[in-house]
A and B are shown apart, each in its own frame.
Chain A
Amino acid sequence: MGKVVLVTGVARQLGGRFVRRVQRDPEVDRVIGVDAVPPEHPLGSADFVQVDIRQPAIARVLAEYGVDTVVHLDVTGTPLGGGGGRTGVKETNVIGTMQLLGACQKSPTVQRLAVKSTTSVYGSAPRDPAVFTEATPPKSLPSGGFAKDAVEVEGYVRGFARRRPDVAVCVLRFANILGPCADTPLADYFSLPALPTVFGYDPRLQFVHEDDVLEVLRIAAHEPRRGTLNSGTFNIAGDGVLLLSQCARRLGRPTVPFLLPAVRWVGSALRTVGMSDFSPEQIRLLTHGRVVRTTQMRETLGFEPKHTTAEAFADFAHSRGAGLLPPEALASAVDRAAGHIGRLAEFVRTEASEDQSSAPPASPAQSSTASKERI
């Protein structure tokens, strides 16, 4: 008999993609997607059950289908489709998780639980070490917003793991998820025509590609492969680091630095207009940045992300179209300037050393290709 997988939060892009992906796995018999609103995207052959995980009805779903694997993706930072407020999101995150875990605890069939969390549980503060491991205690706990929800969710999940030691529990702390169809606050931020930044700070950022997210969720939802262990808490991030300034340049979007107090006003102004979610937590990320160590992910979970941070970002940038200052245009402008300078240098040289002009001078075209080669 195959597995029955229940996925929460399928009305979102990520949940929908995961449902479509996991039902193709041979060991999976049946996939049940759960959300409070019907999804706009197809879920393949999966069953969709419209139930709010904040209601006890979720326990009936677990029992009715004999679910043995629960993948909890309904831990998110923003309301779906821009509707609803922060309170609704917080309730779904925290109360929803409590209900779901309560239902799992009662269910005799559940054997495996995977929970989506975030690296923002570490907070970001200047007094933190540069790289967080899973065991690093945060210097300053997130004071509110999604990060605080995630901290509370993880707390409840730990409690559940203690009470049901027979259930394999995997908490995946994802770095900022980016990709062609990412709908995270950070993706919204990078879609602004000009990026407001904090003056005097250049945060280090780490991204994980959507495809890698699906892949690692599959690992967490299945039996662990030989030599690996998929219960515990893992940081999930692509290799490497990008600075915010680097991201802006690669996107071709100009940055507008604001002093730290002014950034908060700009943030709330943008939020009122509804252009971007610019929460205090996001401002902290964009001030101090956050980098996590992924040794556990590689060695214990046995997962190698296919995309590095830079590749995930490039894929995202590609899907968003050119900004005001496309890097290609800037690069060709520099090449043109190099050509002009080369020509000028040639001119000066031939003027100055007419008597020694035995060798043919290099043409400007050559010089510009030479500079291209070097790059």
Chain B
Amino acid sequence: MADAKVIPFGDDPRSRRGTGAARSGPAKRGSGGGRKGGAAASGGTLAPVPEQHDPLPRTPLDASEEPGAERGGWDSRIAGGLSFLRRRITGDYEVDEFGYDKELTDQVLMSMVRPFYEKYFRVEVKGIENVPTEGGALIVANHSGTLPLDGLMLQAAVHDEHPAGRHLRLLAADLVFVLPVVNELARKAGHTLACAEDARALLERGELVGVMPEGFKGIGKPFGERYKLQRFGRGGFVSTAMRAGAPIVPCSIVGAEEIYPMVGNSRTLARVLGLPYFPITPTFPWLGPLGLVPLPTKWTIQFGEPIPTDGYTEEAAEDPMLMFNLTDQVREQIQHTLYKLLVQRRSVFF
């Protein structure tokens, strides 16, 4: 446990495993095992240091062993980084048809999000075992926080905490894909447009899809209405999940509501800028860019029991009553869990 805390800025669970192997393997300096560890970290398929014979008895000084291990880790890290750089600058990597760049997400984008995830918001994840290990599933979460940081944290939570190392493919609003830079990063991180076609294609490929059906109504609601779920769109997500036969995993996120307490909304400015809302918080826009710093709240993400959708007939997806009922079921489960988590919470910031 303590070990895992020591190397928090490692790239992904696999590379962590790699450095762990380098740490425990005492013979790595002599036989170049540290480099092999690096290969395991970057390739991910190689078993970490198979040979277990150690010519050096580990008796003498454990203290002198430690810096050596550190250097071995650095070595493999540099070698891994260089081969990553080599692939990137020669364009020798794959993206899927949605533009998802797995390598970039694992190595770069997730490490950029991770400090926020681990240190700033100190996200606590509960019920990760409710996220299926394989096959398609639709994670439905509440949306809040003025800026969609909750989506990124949810993605990091699944990426870092799930034992099978699954990747969450978020469905994002069309505004994301209009904005320069943002659209590029979103596509590379595996997000795609929130539309039935894309969601269904991803679910049928067996991907884990994340959706926040409240949309702008949820993320742009005033501070006074925090943790009150808004209307869940038209419930299109339920029929999409049903057509793909994928279970729905309700997910409640606590903590995101308080990062930017939105006390006002300038409709005029929003209209001028073509945005769905223009937030006014105690710090924004008064302090300029400083006002963009979110408050360091303590977050909890709870995944609930999956709701199966594969027991229905073909026509069920066309039945509006059933759709509304299922939508309400998902919504109530999320709302209920939100209240439960709020009662358990000691303070907003700790």
Contacts and interface: CB of A to CB of B under 8 A. Distances in A.
Given A241-B95, A345-B78, A371-B83, A126 B43 contact: no
Given A129-B195, A334-B89, A202 B187 contact: yes
Contacts of A192: none
Contacts of A341: 78-79, 82
A299 to B, nearest CB: 15
A159 to B, nearest CB: 28
A353 B65 CA distance: 10
B56 A358 contact: yes
Nearest to B74: A345
A201 B183 contact: yes
B35 A362 contact: yes
A273 interface: no
Nearest to A313: B91
B216 to A, nearest CB: 15
A367 B187 contact: no
B192 A249 contact: no
A170 B321 CA distance: 42
Select the residue from A249, A260, A373 with max chain B CB neighbours within 10 A.
A249
Contacts, number: 152
B29 interface: yes
B65 to A, nearest CB: 9
A362 B32 contact: yes
B212 to A, nearest CB: 18
B197 A129 contact: yes
B272 interface: no
Interface in B51-68: 55-56, 64, 67-68
B187 A358 contact: no
Contact of A359 (B30, B74, B179, B201): B30
Select the residue from A136, A199, A356, A367 with max chain B CB neighbours within 10 A.
A356
Contact of B91 (A136, A247, A293): A247
Nearest to B68: A353
Given A334-B86, A345-B71, A359-B55, A327 B178 contact: no
Contacts of A374: 38-39, 42-43, 79, 83
Contact of A327 (B27, B89, B95, B174): B89
B90 A131 contact: no
Nearest to B201: A131
A199 B32 CA distance: 43
Interface string B162-180: 0000000000001001111
A370 B79 contact: yes
Contacts of A328: 90
Contacts of A356: 29, 56, 64, 68
B106 interface: no
Contact of B87 (A248, A349, A375): A375
B96 interface: yes
Contacts of A241: 95-97, 99
Contact of A375 (B64, B86, B101, B193): B86
Given A353-B68, A358-B30, A246 B95 contact: yes
A246 B93 contact: yes
B112 interface: no
A249 B89 contact: yes
A42 interface: no
B198 interface: yes
A295 B181 CA distance: 31
Interface in A315-358: 327-328, 330-331, 334-335, 337-338, 341-342, 345, 348-349, 352-353, 356, 358
A331 B84 CA distance: 11
B98 A334 contact: no
Contacts of A338: 79, 82-83
B43 to A, nearest CB: 6
B42 A370 contact: no
B99 A204 contact: yes
A243 B64 CA distance: 48
Nearest to B38: A374
Interface in A101-154: 126-131, 133, 136
A204 B89 contact: no
A83 interface: no
Interface in B71-117: 71, 74-75, 78-79, 82-83, 85-99, 101
A131 B98 contact: yes
Contacts of B183: 126, 200-201
Contacts of A246: 91, 93, 95
Interface in B193-214: 193, 195, 197-198, 201
Given A129-B193, A359-B29, A371-B79, A250 B99 contact: no
A268 interface: no
Contacts of B99: 130, 202, 204, 241, 243, 289
Given A359-B55, A374-B39, A130 B193 contact: yes
Given A341-B78, A370-B79, A130 B31 contact: no
Interface string A191-210: 00000001111101000000
B155 to A, nearest CB: 17
Interface in B261-276: none
A290 to B, nearest CB: 11
Contact of B89 (A199, A330, A348, A366): A330
B91 A250 contact: yes
Contacts of A348: 71
Query: 9 tightest A-B contacts by CB?
Result: A200-B180, A359-B30, A249-B91, A327-B90, A126-B177, A200-B181, A250-B91, A129-B197, A334-B86
Given A126-B178, A337-B82, 11 more contacts: A127-B177, A129-B193, A130-B98, A130-B198, A131-B97, A328-B90, A330-B86, A338-B83, A348-B71, A371-B83, A374-B79
29 contacts: A126-B178, A129-B195, A129-B198, A130-B99, A198-B180, A200-B179, A200-B180, A200-B184, A201-B184, A202-B99, A204-B95, A241-B96, A242-B95, A243-B95, A243-B101, A249-B89, A327-B90, A327-B92, A330-B90, A331-B89, A349-B29, A353-B64, A358-B55, A359-B29, A359-B30, A359-B31, A359-B55, A359-B56, A375-B92
